[in-house]
Structure 1
Amino acid sequence: MPNLLTHLRVVLMALLALATLVCPAELPKPFGNGLDPIRKRDFLQVATRTGPITFYEGAHGPTGFEYELMRRFAHSLGVSLAVKNETRIDDVFDDVRRGDADMGAAALAMDLERPGIRYSRPILELQPLVVYRRGLPPVRTLDDLVGLRIGVIQGSGNADALRVQQQSVPGLGWREAGGLTIADLLEMVERDDLDAAVVYTHQFKLNRLFFPNVERGFALGQPFSLSWAFAANTPTDLLSAANAFIDDQRASGELDTLVGRYFGHDDYLEYVGARLFIHHVGTRLPRFVPYFKTAARDTGFDWRLLAALGYQESHWEADATSPTGVRGLMMLTRPTANEIGIDNRLDPRQSVEGGARYLQHVKQRLDNAIPEPDRTWMALAAYNVGLGHLYDAQEIAKLRGKNPDRWADVREALPLLQQKAWYSQVRHGYARGGEPVIYVRNIRRYYEILKYVNRSQQQFDQLGERALDDEDVSPLEIVAPLL
């Protein structure tokens, strides 16, 4: 009997040990604590890279389509956002794999073959697009690409799209580099360092006005899915939270609104007009830059905003005169010039100084409760249509249950000044209210182009200097045809 009890005791202990191995009491739950480290440190670390879709420094701080989504996602987790800005797409993936970043968001195309990476739900459709330099024969098919100098960013879905097409067109070759931005690539096409490039449609849409000598070619292959990247060996809590967030943004309509805000407005300027503007930036603007900068120092405006206003008014023609009697670079009326102490409206220095002072005067008369940048956009609208009509548009916004301190709501109200049902209810009556909407819209686009040119010129010059310093060294690695 003792032997039997001993035997049973051994079996029982073995079973208990086996049960402990199969179901250990301290074994982490599969979805239990993956978010704890993020919440403990109080920030979400995201690896990204500079680009029009992803992340860049705007006039009022960091911005970008994916940046805005990242910021909202971090807020949904109750933490702040920390951004690690990498040079190459492969660096983003390396950060994620090593755990140096919680996730990657850098216009990443979902690639299920990439080792060590899991992806979120698709966020946006990315269509590879061939673009080429204006003046070349039209590029409409794959065969048209054979023999051309084509550039692409290494590690992107666009490089993969070319590899797929190379199987059917073995003569297709290209050059690729990981350290270039989309702006670098398009600038190389613009400068004749490349004949063509493959970018995403959204990237070209956001950049096309800055590179007027780059033409749209054709869609290359099937679209990819833009997704966020996570390490395959990390707990799935963060991925699950990201998927739930993306689903919520899509279901609520917030994702569509964000897409519309960043990608839905490339028709602000007629394309030929944009090309003419870029030309005038190089030929007309330099003479007046010192005047705009002096006026900016005196009034607190960005000189590029004043220059954009000047272009909208006169196309930077110092002797411009309209049939209604407004004259000069900033197209001042005689009463306005007298009011602000300008005696020669055709003197470009005086005109710029007067226009800046008048804009400042208008802005100071707006309610201090109006936040920026809305206050600046309303001041520009009043510069065009008059303060009285702007006040009326604010009143109409209130009558419609909208916010009179928000430019988006006032912008909707301004065209209603053309309808008797509305202008009869306000003090200053009828106005061609659609014009200031277009006016502000154009100035904002001119302003964005000027900021872009100013910010990027040094970068582009350095790129060109590197090429001149060592003609045998190219930032692009050549991918040869298969023939």
Structure 2
Amino acid sequence: MQCINRLSRLTLLLGALLLSACDVKENIPNQQAGIIARGELRVGTLYHPLYYFIRKQGEDGLDYELARQFAERLGVRLTMVPAYHLDELFGLLDEGKVDILAAGLINTPLRRQHYRFGPSYYEVAQTLAYRKGQPRPTELGQITGGLRVLAGSSQAEWLHRLGPDYPELRWETRREADAEELLRQVAEGDTDFTLVEDTLLARTQRYYPNIAAAFTLSEPLPVAWVLEQRTDDSLYSSMLDFFDERQADGTLARLNEKYFGHIQDFDYVDTRTFLRRTEDRLPRFRPLFERHAGKLDWRLLAAVSYQESHWDPQARSYTGVRGMMMLTEDTAKLMGVADRLDPEQSIRGGAQYLGQLKARLPDSIPEDERIWFALAAYNMGLGHLLDVRRLTKKRGQDPNAWAQVKENLVLLHQPKWYRQTRHGYARGREALHFVNNIRQYYHSLQWLNGPQTDPGINTVRNEPQADSPLPSEI
């Protein structure tokens, strides 16, 4: 009888434990609910001028901006968890230390075997970079020199996959580096080739103009965020909805313009000349740019001046504009500039005029895009810029998005369109070229002179810049 009682008690105890285990399992939240309960979205990333970097105003970067918006959508705080190389980055996800990875990661077959990818938010192409003056290969079989790629990268995966077709091809991987470091090694002759994304090569050519694209190995490949592979779709579903919304409301187009809109064209001779003049001319005028920049970044002001005059105080054009900032007589008079050929007066007047144009723009234009609108107005006049905004709206586009407005600048050359405006014909193509060039020069000055700042706010005051974890943060 005692044995039966003991058996009954044991049975009851085991049953209670099983029921308890079931209750615990049923109470385990799904991935998204767990993040919301924690109150924190943890995002693994890499220090990089496109993905994530730190400036004086705080965190920034394309992936950071999207991650911040996604965290806001979930109603939680965002914590960025930077890694220093790809193996470490994927290790963060494998070990459950982050919820997603957001670092310009290419969706590849090998990675899909182990991870889940969200929607693509831009595309890149695998491109072989070489040093100008060296023989240019046109396909992998012609590579005879040193080829370096990042360990664990999509480029290394690509080469492994193509290896059987090119048995003579040799390459080496680098773990403690980033893609910009490999491009620097090519530029300085430490290696002959590297394989990188076309977008990164285009950005980096502005300060290493002796590197170029030999050929492209692939069609455009999707870049996306990365999650664990799991049956729980809660976070993945929210991510799909998030990117659909950001596509529909124009956020992705705006960010694409912000980070890639100025890198399409590269002029080797112009870039070499610009870099040389940052050494032999800019130091003389830098104190003036810093002194009179006001709320603008002095490097932006310097970029405008280079576009206008190549930092030549005696510059003049056939239209009558003159000086460092190429002011018209009317603008000079309005800004209190008595001598347009005096460098300080010209820089002060140009800075004040650009600041006034920026302030006069409609409040509906996002703050981080206002400066590009102001620069277009600086070139062709505020009235013509407002005309283009009206034409943009008439065509069913967003007049507050620089990416869409700039497409319509060329309409001011066409009678069909400029007849519909208040101010008529204008050289819209010139204004587009003007703004794109300034963005390129500004980008180069950011790399040469410290970490990125808001182009509309001057935070650089001669003090050393020490808040950048990598020298490539721009």
Gaps of 5+ in 2: 453-464
Paired residue for 2:232? 236
CA contact (8 A) 1:43 1:82 kept: yes
Paired residue for 1:468? none
Q: 1:392 to 1:244 in 2, by over 3 A?
A: closer
Paired residue for 2:143? 145
- Corresponding residue SS for 1:241: helix
Is 1:179 equivalent to 2:180 in the alignment? Answer: no
CA contact (8 A) 2:55 2:451 kept: no
Counterparts of 1:369 and 1:63 in 2: how far apart (Å)?
22
Q: 1:59 to 1:271 in 2, by over 3 A?
A: farther
Q: 1:407 to 1:335 in 2, by over 3 A?
A: same
Q: 2:95 aligns with which of 98, 101, 117?
A: 98
Paired residue for 1:360? 355
CA contact (8 A) 1:161 1:220 kept: no
Is 1:130 equivalent to 2:128 in the alignment? Answer: yes
- Corresponding residue SS for 1:26: helix
Letter in 1 for 2:136: P
Is 1:431 equivalent to 2:423 in the alignment? Answer: no
CA contact (8 A) 1:161 1:221 kept: no
Matches within 5 A, 1:433-448: 433-448=428-443
Paired residue for 1:453? 448
- Corresponding residue SS for 2:434: helix
Deviations 1:421-458 (A, max 9, x none): 55455544433334323322322232222213323799
Paired residue for 2:201? 204
CA contact (8 A) 1:138 1:217 kept: yes
Q: 1:61 to 1:412 in 2, by over 3 A?
A: farther
Counterparts of 1:463 and 1:58 in 2: how far apart (Å)?
11
Counterparts of 1:31 and 1:253 in 2: how far apart (Å)?
35
Paired residue for 2:334? 339
Q: 1:163 to 1:68 in 2, by over 3 A?
A: same
Among all aligned residue pairs of Structure 1 and Structure 2, give the percentage whose two residues are the same amino acid.
38
Counterparts of 1:161 and 1:400 in 2: how far apart (Å)?
43
Counterparts of 1:322 and 1:258 in 2: how far apart (Å)?
34
Is 1:155 equivalent to 2:139 in the alignment? Answer: no
Q: 1:46 to 1:418 in 2, by over 3 A?
A: same
Offset, 1:380: 1.9
Deviations 1:397-425 (A, max 9, x none): 56667665554565456544445555455
- With the length of structure 2 as denominator, give the TM-score of the two structures: 0.78
Is 1:214 equivalent to 2:211 in the alignment? Answer: yes
Counterparts of 2:79 and 2:373 in 1: how far apart (Å)?
33
Counterparts of 1:224 and 1:427 in 2: how far apart (Å)?
44
Deviations 1:129-172 (A, max 9, x none): 221111111122334333x2332222212223334455555554
Moved more, 329-338 or 313-322: 329-338
CA contact (8 A) 1:31 1:236 kept: no
CA contact (8 A) 2:118 2:226 kept: no
Matches within 5 A, 1:44-123: 44-56=41-53, 62-109=59-106, 117-121=114-118, 123=120
CA contact (8 A) 1:93 1:229 kept: no
- Corresponding residue SS for 2:127: strand
Paired residue for 2:375? 380
Counterparts of 2:112 and 2:414 in 1: how far apart (Å)?
61
Offset, 1:173: 3.9
Counterparts of 2:105 and 2:387 in 1: how far apart (Å)?
47
Gaps of 5+ in 1: 465-483
Q: 1:349 aligns with which of 322, 344, 347?
A: 344
Counterparts of 1:113 and 1:402 in 2: how far apart (Å)?
40
Offset, 1:52: 4.8
Offset, 1:304: 0.9
Paired residue for 2:38? 41
- Corresponding residue SS for 2:449: helix
Count of residue pairs brought into register by the alignment: 453
Paired residue for 1:317? 312
Moved more, 73-82 or 305-314: 73-82
Moved more, 342-351 or 118-127: 118-127
Letter in 1 for 2:132: R
Offset, 1:236: 2.8
- Corresponding residue SS for 2:351: helix
Q: 1:372 to 1:255 in 2, by over 3 A?
A: closer
Paired residue for 1:286? 283
Offset, 1:222: 8.6
Counterparts of 1:156 and 1:225 in 2: how far apart (Å)?
14
Letter in 1 for 2:291: T
